[in-house]
């Protein structure tokens, strides 16, 4: 549960920082919100699959792989939307990828904490 709480707290912090980014606020807000929502979906999906799976680590890694592919799509769509609207692409990219790496570390720590649960084979 601590990983989910950490993810929610980080989501609030990153979106708050995006709101405070001044002239590039819209691009940053799109990036931070997109990255944060993907992370929230991923961390709660990992929690769900790890509770219901016989092999929680493998299930969690599958969720992380699917979430990564989804994030590739989201960054492409977000970049397109930001360019089309004339907002700052640099602000979007920074506000997407900085949280992405932080959230990836939280997700990795969560998967690491699943070691020892479930069957050993």
Model-level pTM? 0.85
What pLDDT is stored for residue 117 in this prediction?
57
- Greatest Cα pair distance, the chain, in angstroms, is 54
At residue 55, the 3 state secondary structure works out as coil
Q: Write down the residue that tokens 């640099």 correspond to.
A: 90
CB 96 within 8 Å of CB 78: yes
CA distance 1 to 9: 13
Residue 19 has pLDDT above 90, yes or no: yes
Other beta carbons within 10 angstroms of residue 94's beta carbon come to 18
Interval 45-88: pLDDT, tens: 999 988 887 788 888 889 999 999 999 999 999 999 999 999 98
């Amino acid at each position: 549960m601590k990983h989910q709480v950490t993810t929610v707290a980080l989501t609030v912090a990153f979106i708050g920082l995006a709101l405070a980014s001044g002239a590039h606020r819209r691009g940053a807000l799109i990036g931070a919100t997109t990255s944060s929502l993907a992370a929230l979906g991923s961390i709660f999906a990992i929690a769900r699959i790890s509770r219901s799976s016989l092999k929680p680590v493998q299930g969690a890694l599958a969720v992380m792989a699917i979430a990564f592919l989804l994030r590739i799509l989201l960054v492409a769509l977000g970049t397109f939307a930001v360019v089309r609207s004339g907002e700052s692409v640099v602000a979007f990219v920074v506000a997407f990828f900085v949280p992405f790496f932080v959230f990836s570390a939280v997700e990795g720590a969560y998967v690491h904490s699943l070691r020892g649960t479930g069957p050993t084979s």
